[in-house]
């Protein structure tokens, strides 16, 4: 026969009438015919498959509307299901050395039902021999006593599914059994419908109702296309069981329990099942089939459509206009506050700066050029976060923060890959668990693997306790009334590529030394947290998308101590990550954005290490360290949050180092010591979870772990060091604290209000080696009764005064240069020691002493500004003001040059800067290269005899 004689379409029509054996013969004719037969997939093969009344749709129960990839393949599987049993029976026969004559014996079919050979299953079984097939005809078959299967038989319902019902309690004691096409219910005397302790049982296309099924290792089972209505499958020590395409509905307890070590004693069926699993297409992701993760939520997110932000590098501005990079107020500011902090602009000066361009030409003769290089923010994350956030613009994430697909993660992580491809215990694939109490319960060293299942509308989906391991790949878990996945008592395994959403409690709940690997999941729209880790729970939580949850995206408490890295946590209604009640955790390289409360919220003994995260676009503060929260914040980028960048309480000694805190709405870093301090974010914690299930919360406190963290440097005071704090809406640093605070080697630049505001500081606040520049009001303001020490700072180009103080300050060895107001403005209540500073104000006084301010001014060098204003004293005979050994530099000659030399301009960061985190070690604060080059008349001139002269 030639395929070419007739058009293919006609051949297809003709062949569509052939029965199966003829199709087989045809396909053997030649390659063309073979392909012709294959091309009948949607027609003849589909028809053949659906012709079997006991066949459920190949994608039942989860995707019954989706055409299978191949009907022929589905048909083959179905065909083999009934053949496999006999085929393996043959293997079994030889393996157990049955005599030859019995193996040759043909299988008999025994019919049971009214008008048939046997009237009951029991009587048929009594007459059956090895591998016979027992056909149950439609009707109700009720057995009055327990049935013990001693010889391998196949029990098949004859008719449509649902027409044959069997009420029985069967104990399989033979090596193998197959049940097919039955509605199975327990007998009146026992809830057990079926149990086996050593044999292999195959269930195909059955409905089980209201009973129990038990398989004990080394027994095995294979279940396909079955419905379990309030039926409990109990698997104990099974080496391998496979449940595929099944539906579990209305359970009053767990649907499947997998208990105990998988038995190492493997029967013949173990190898058979393993072969089946290996040959069938798994759900392990490949690059192109990585569908769940490629569901790209980011790209749908308008605010984050791909775009690169422009980069503004503050340090590279025109040297003659130091303030050019700072955002300019559109209109002229007439800004003399109560304390005269803001300095009125000269009307003709566009930026009020020190550029001669805005000054009168006459004055230009007197003036001099100042060449500044003010320390701007260091580049961070590839430069994406230097510019202001633009409405509608997106942020280009640096590659280290882009999410990997599951495929990529598994390629990178051999351990995860090994877990993902292992099979042990129970394999549950493509099943539906719905509308009941529990899904899968794995306990006492049990092992279960779940792939491509749907769990919905249950109390919980999966519980894994007591040294058990689960491997969960690409399941959908939603609308659970409690948490989706629950691990406790050293539970573990791999939870990867799942879609977990709309659950009433946490998506994943990790407790009591459980330590799972959680990769590439989407955990979202939970009514509470995305993931909770508590009671010494651990876990590696990596590369997940956790979003739109009602409570914290990740909530760590009661000594929970996970490693949380490279997750995207966004659009939560509470905190991104909350660490409470002695929670710990290593939290690195996450992108935490657009959460309603703090991006990271640390309270009540929470001690996480927070490193190299991007925390941005939050609706509240970036990081909150509240109420006895502790922790190390290192190398994070905290950007464009509506509230403060970092809001913290000094009492608990937080350590904030090498962070980039920019473009936040309020303070860059705010330090408080009172709980009711202004700016307390509205209860930004993760909110109370319901942890009642496992007893009193205090229970968790008992198991303390002594894993002292070498990553932390012990500190004795709250420490804010080596951060870049720039372009925040209010002050760069705001202090309202009654504890010691150290503020060291920070760059505080171009903030919307002051550089540093000390509103309350009853203990000492030490401000050392910082660069404080280009802030929109004064560099520093100290309120009455605050104790502050300034040492080694460079305070440059602020639009108000350099330092304005009403409090008790020591100002030693600072460079206070180029500020629009006075270098130092000492207000009446202040008590200030000003020693060995270099001070210059272009237009105002170097030092202005207002009222009866108490001051010791000693050994300072004051450079003359535009006029001869150097030191101003409001009250000429102020006994409280002592001035001695100050130097005044006046310009005389055009050719004279001033430099900040010996020592060079402050701060001297190169030496004092500690190597920051490994991740950010490349980004050192470079020394300030501030130079004053003055072309002036005059030279070095000492006026040491002048005391508090009004100039
Ligand atoms: C539910 O199942 C578990 C484990 O299989 C068992 O310990 C418990 O007693 C069952 N609960 C009920 C109410 O049947
Ligand atoms: C969930 O189950 C409950 C009872 O089991 C039922 O009333 C409810 O309609 C179900 N919800 C969904 C979404 O199926
Ligand atoms: C500044 O003071 C010097 C002497 O101390 C004087 O010669 C000079 O004229 C003064 N300049 C101005 C602008 O007042
Ligand atoms: C400030 O810098 C100087 C010079 O590098 C250094 O000696 C000093 O210890 C630093 N101070 C602090 C508090 O780090």
Query: Please, which pLDDT band fits residue 275 given cuts at 50, 70 and 90?
Result: confident
Q: Is the model more confident about 372 or about 757? A: 757
Structure tokens at 287: 């690059």
CB atoms within 10 A of CB 832: 27
The separation between CA 572 and the C-alpha centre of its own chain, rounded to angstroms, equals: 11
Query: Given a cut of 60, is residue 887 above it in pLDDT?
Result: yes
What gap in Å lies between CA 190 and CA 178, rounded to an integer? 21
> How far apart, in Å, are the Cα atoms of 62 and each of 452, 541, 605?
9, 28, 45
What gap in Å lies between CA 250 and CA 435, rounded to an integer? 5
Residue closest by Cα to atom 13 of ligand 1 = 253
For 898, residues 6+ apart whose C-beta sits below 8 A from its C-beta are: 863, 889, 932, 933, 934, 936
Average pLDDT over residues 681-696: 41
Q: How far is the CA of 212 from the centre of ligand 2 (A)?
A: 24
pLDDT in tens, 645-660: 999 987 777 899 999 9
Q: What are phi and psi of 232, to 5 degrees?
A: -105, 120
Q: What are phi and psi of 683, to 5 degrees?
A: 45, 55
Nearest ligand to residue 252 Cα:
1
What gap in Å lies between CA 555 and CA 577, rounded to an integer? 6
Query: Given a cut of 90, is residue 837 above it in pLDDT?
Result: yes
Q: How far is the CA of 432 from the centre of ligand 2 (A)?
A: 15
Instruction: Please check whether residue 186 is in contact with residue 210, taking contact to mean a CB–CB distance below 8 angstroms.
Output: yes
Pick from 183, 153, 148, 151: nearest CA to 169: 148
Query: Given a cut of 60, is residue 775 above it in pLDDT?
Result: yes
Query: Given a cut of 90, is residue 104 above it in pLDDT?
Result: no
Q: From the alpha carbon of 443, which atom of ligand 1 is closest? A: 4
Average pLDDT over residues 555-567: 95
Query: Please, which pLDDT band fits residue 48 given cuts at 50, 70 and 90?
Result: confident
Average pLDDT over residues 21-38: 77
Average pLDDT over residues 463-484: 96
Ligand 3 within 6 A of CB of 937: no
Q: How far is the CA of 711 from the centre of ligand 4 (A)?
A: 23
Mean pLDDT of the chain: 79
Query: Please, which pLDDT band fits residue 376 given cuts at 50, 70 and 90?
Result: low
For 300, residues 6+ apart whose C-beta sits below 8 A from its C-beta are: none
pLDDT of residue 347: 35
Query: Please, which pLDDT band fits residue 892 given cuts at 50, 70 and 90?
Result: low
What gap in Å lies between CA 517 and CA 93, rounded to an integer? 44
Average pLDDT over residues 581-604: 94
Share of the chain above pLDDT 90, in %: 53
What gap in Å lies between CA 560 and CA 291, rounded to an integer? 32
Q: Is the model more confident about 328 or about 845? A: 845
Q: What are phi and psi of 681, to 5 degrees?
A: -70, 150
Q: How far is the CA of 457 from the centre of ligand 2 (A)?
A: 6
For 645, residues 6+ apart whose C-beta sits below 8 A from its C-beta are: 621, 622, 623, 638, 659, 661, 662, 664, 667, 668, 669, 725, 728
CA dihedral sign, ordered 558, 561, 566, 567:
negative
Q: How far is the CA of 34 from the centre of ligand 4 (A)?
A: 84
DSSP assignment string, 500-511: EES-SS-SEEEE
pLDDT of residue 378: 61
Query: Please, which pLDDT band fits residue 7 given cuts at 50, 70 and 90?
Result: confident
Ligand 4 within 6 A of CB of 794: no
Query: Given a cut of 60, is residue 235 above it in pLDDT?
Result: yes
pLDDT of residue 271: 84
Nearest ligand to residue 446 Cα:
1
Instruction: Please check whether residue 816 is in contact with residue 837, taking contact to mean a CB–CB distance below 8 angstroms.
Output: yes
Query: Please, which pLDDT band fits residue 127 given cuts at 50, 70 and 90?
Result: very high
Among the residue ranges 450-459, 469-478, 819-828, the one predicted with the least confidence is 819-828
Query: Given a cut of 90, is residue 591 above it in pLDDT?
Result: yes
- Relative to beta strand 515-519, strand 733-737 is unpaired
Query: Given a cut of 50, is residue 760 above it in pLDDT?
Result: yes
pTM (2 decimals)?
0.83
Query: Please, which pLDDT band fits residue 299 given cuts at 50, 70 and 90?
Result: very low
pLDDT of residue 340: 52
pLDDT of residue 14: 76
Q: Is the model more confident about 374 or about 836? A: 836
Ligand 3 within 6 A of CB of 868: yes
Instruction: Please check whether residue 518 is in contact with residue 541, taking contact to mean a CB–CB distance below 8 angstroms.
Output: yes
DSSP assignment string, 202-255: EEES-EEESSEEEEETT-EEEEES-EEES-EEEEES-SEEEEES-EEES-SS-S
Pick from 676, 683, 700: nearest CA to 603: 683
Query: Please, which pLDDT band fits residue 735 given cuts at 50, 70 and 90?
Result: very high
pLDDT of residue 323: 33
Ligand 4 within 6 A of CB of 792: yes
Ligand 3 within 6 A of CB of 106: no
Pick from 282, 290, 570, 568: nearest CA to 405: 290
Question: In the chain, what is the straight-line distance between the N-terminal and C-terminal CA atoms, in Å?
Answer: 118
CB atoms within 10 A of CB 329: 13
Which uninterrupted H or E stretch holds 26? helix 20-27
pLDDT of residue 947: 23
Q: From the alpha carbon of 907, which atom of ligand 4 is closest? A: 2
Q: How far is the CA of 476 from the centre of ligand 2 (A)?
A: 17
What gap in Å lies between CA 935 and CA 899, rounded to an integer? 11
Q: How far is the CA of 435 from the centre of ligand 2 (A)?
A: 6
Q: What are phi and psi of 760, to 5 degrees?
A: -155, 130
pLDDT of residue 945: 21
pLDDT in tens, 51-85: 777 778 888 888 888 888 888 888 877 777 777 66
pLDDT of residue 179: 94
**Burial, 177: exposed, middle or buried (Cβ in 10 Å; 0-12, 13-18, 19+)?**
buried
pLDDT of residue 529: 95
Query: Please, which pLDDT band fits residue 321 given cuts at 50, 70 and 90?
Result: very low
What gap in Å lies between CA 913 and CA 658, rounded to an integer? 10
**Burial, 399: exposed, middle or buried (Cβ in 10 Å; 0-12, 13-18, 19+)?**
exposed
Ligand 1 interacting residues, C-beta cut-off 6 A: 253-254, 257
What gap in Å lies between CA 146 and CA 199, rounded to an integer? 17
Query: Given a cut of 50, is residue 621 above it in pLDDT?
Result: yes
Query: Given a cut of 60, is residue 928 above it in pLDDT?
Result: no
């Amino acid at each position: 026969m030639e395929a070419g004689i007739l058009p293919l379409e006609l051949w297809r029509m003709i062949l569509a009438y052939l029965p199966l054996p003829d199709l087989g013969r045809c396909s053997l004719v030649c390659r063309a015919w073979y392909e012709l037969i294959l091309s009948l997939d949607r027609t003849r093969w589909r028809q053949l498959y659906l012709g079997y009344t006991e066949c459920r749709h190949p994608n039942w129960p989860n995707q019954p509307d989706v055409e299978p990839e191949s009907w022929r393949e589905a048909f083959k599987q179905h065909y083999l299901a009934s053949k496999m049993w006999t085929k393996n029976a043959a293997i079994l026969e030889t393996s157990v050395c049955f005599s030859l004559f019995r193996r040759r014996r043909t299988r008999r079919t025994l019919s049971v039902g009214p008008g048939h050979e046997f009237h009951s299953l029991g009587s048929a079984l009594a007459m059956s021999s090895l591998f016979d097939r027992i056909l149950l005809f439609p009707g109700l078959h009720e057995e009055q006593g327990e049935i013990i299967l001693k010889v391998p038989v196949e029990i098949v319902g004859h008719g449509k599914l649902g027409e044959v019902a069997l009420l029985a309690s069967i104990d399989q004691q033979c090596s193998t059994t197959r049940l097919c096409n039955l509605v199975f219910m327990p007998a009146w005397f026992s809830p057990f419908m079926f149990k086996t302790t050593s044999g292999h049982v195959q269930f195909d296309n059955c409905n089980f109702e209201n009973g129990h099924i038990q398989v004990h290792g080394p027994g095995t089972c294979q279940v396909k296309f079955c419905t379990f209505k309030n039926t409990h499958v109990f698997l104990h020590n099974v080496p391998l069981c496979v449940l595929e395409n099944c539906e579990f509905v209305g359970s009053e307890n767990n649907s499947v329990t997998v208990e105990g070590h998988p038995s190492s004693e493997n029967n013949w069926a173990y190898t058979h099942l393993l072969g089946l699993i290996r040959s069938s297409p798994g759900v392990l992701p490949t690059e192109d089939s990585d569908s769940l993760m490629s569901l790209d939520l980011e790209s749908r997110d308008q605010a984050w459509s791909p775009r690169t932000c422009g980069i503004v590098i503050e340090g590279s501005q025109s040297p003659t206009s130091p303030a050019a990079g700072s955002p300019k107020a559109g209109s002229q500011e007439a800004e003399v506050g109560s304390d005269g902090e803001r300095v009125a602009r000269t009307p003709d000066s566009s930026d009020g700066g020190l550029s001669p361009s805005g000054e009168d030409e006459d004055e230009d003769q007197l003036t001099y050029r100042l060449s500044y290089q003010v320390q701007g923010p260091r580049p961070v994350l590839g430069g994406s976060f230097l510019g202001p956030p633009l409405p509608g613009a997106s942020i280009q994430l640096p590659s280290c923060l882009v999410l990997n697909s599951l495929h990529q993660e598994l390629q990178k992580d051999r351990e995860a890959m090994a877990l993902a491809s292992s099979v042990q215990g129970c394999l549950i694939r493509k099943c539906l668990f719905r509308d009941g109490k529990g899904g899968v319960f794995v306990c006492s060293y049990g092992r279960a693997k779940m792939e491509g299942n749907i769990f919905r509308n249950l109390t919980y989906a999966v519980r894994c306790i007591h040294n058990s391991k689960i491997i969960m790949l690409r399941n959908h878990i939603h609308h659970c009334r409690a948490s989706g996945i629950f691990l406790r008592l050293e539970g573990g395994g791999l939870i990867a590529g799942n879609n977990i959403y709309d659950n009433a409690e946490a998506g994943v709940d990790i407790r009591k030394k459980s330590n799972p690997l959680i990769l590439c999941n989407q955990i979202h729209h939970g009514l509470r947290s995305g993931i909770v880790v508590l009671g010494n729970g651990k876990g590696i939580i990596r590369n997940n998308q956790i979003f739109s949850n009602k409570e914290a995206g990740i909530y760590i408490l009661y000594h929970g101590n996970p490693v949380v890295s490279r997750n995207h946590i966004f659009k939560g209604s509470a905190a991104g990550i909350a660490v409470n009640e002695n929670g710990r955790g290593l939290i690195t390289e996450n992108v935490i954005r657009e959460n309603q409360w703090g991006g990271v919220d640390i309270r009540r003994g929470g001690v996480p290490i927070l490193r190299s995260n991007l925390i941005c676009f939050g609706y509240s503060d970036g990081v909150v360290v509240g109420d006895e929260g502790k922790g190390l914040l290192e190398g994070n980028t905290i950007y464009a949050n509506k509230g403060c960048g970092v809001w913290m309480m000094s009492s608990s000694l937080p350590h904030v180092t090498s962070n980039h805190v920019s473009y936040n709405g309020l303070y860059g870093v705010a330090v408080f010591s009172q709980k009711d301090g202004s700016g307390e974010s509205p209860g930004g914690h993760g909110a109370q979870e319901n942890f009642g299930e496992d007893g009193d919360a205090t229970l968790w406190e008992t198991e303390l772990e002594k894993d002292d963290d070498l990553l932390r440097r012990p500190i004795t005071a709250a420490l804010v060091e080596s951060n870049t704090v720039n372009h925040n809406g209010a002050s760069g640093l705001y202090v309202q604290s009654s504890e010691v605070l150290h503020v060291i080697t920070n760059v505080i630049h171009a903030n919307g209000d002051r550089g540093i505001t000390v509103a309350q500081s009853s203990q000492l606040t030490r401000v050392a080696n910082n660069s404080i520049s280009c802030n929109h009001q004064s560099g520093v303001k100290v309120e009455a009764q605050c104790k502050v020490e300034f040492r080694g700072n460079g305070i440059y180009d602020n639009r108000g005064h350099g330092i304005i103080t009403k409090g008790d300050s020591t100002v030693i060895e600072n460079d206070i240069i180029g500020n629009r107001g006075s270098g130092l403005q000492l207000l009446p209540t202040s008590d200030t020691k000003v020693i060995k500073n270099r001070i210059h104000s272009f237009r105002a006084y170097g030092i202005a002493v207002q009222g009866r301010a108490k001051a010791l001014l000693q050994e300072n060098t004051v450079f003359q500004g535009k006029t001869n204003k150097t030191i101003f004293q409001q009250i000429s005979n102020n006994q409280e003001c002592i001035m001695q050994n100050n130097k005044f530099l006046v310009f005389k000659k055009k050719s004279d040059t001033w430099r900040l030399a010996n020592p060079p301009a402050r701060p001297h960061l190169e030496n004092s800067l500690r190597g920051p985190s490994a991740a950010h070690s490349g980004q050192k604060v470079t020394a300030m290269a501030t130079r004053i080059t003055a072309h002036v008349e005059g030279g070095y001139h000492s006026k040491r005899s002048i005391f508090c002269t009004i100039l």
